[in-house]
Amino acid sequence: MISWINTHIINTPYFIIVFNLGWFLMLIVYTKWYFKSSRQGNKEERILYSILPKQKQNLSILGD
């Protein structure tokens, strides 16, 4: 039982767990940015601001 827990916890790819948490955080940031930009500005600005922060989040997650 203990060896089964050890092998499964040690062999768990931690980057997938971290990536999932980062993706969830990115989704929250993306929705906040989108609704903030949709209140003011035209459609082009809304599309631009909905794309740009997402790419910055992606780069910061992959960089760390």
3-state helix, strand, coil in the chain (%, to 5): 90, 0, 10
Mean pLDDT of 47-55: 60
Q: Are 30 and 54 in contact (CB under 8 A)?
A: yes
Mean pLDDT of 39-47: 60
Which DSSP category does 13 fall into? -
Sign of the CA dihedral 26, 27, 31, 32? negative
pTM above 0.85, yes or no: no
- Report if residue 50 sits inside a domain: yes
Overall domain count for the chain: 1
- Report if residue 4 sits inside a domain: no
- Report if residue 49 sits inside a domain: yes
- Report if residue 8 sits inside a domain: no
pLDDT at 3: 67
Mean pLDDT of 18-42: 75
pLDDT at 64: 44
- Report if residue 1 sits inside a domain: no
Range of the domain at 43: 14-63
What band does 41 get if pLDDT is binned at 50, 70 and 90?
low
Q: Which residues does 29 contact at the CB level (< 8 Å), separation at least 6? A: 53, 57
SS3 category, 42: coil
Q: pLDDT: is 49 or 64 the higher one?
A: 49
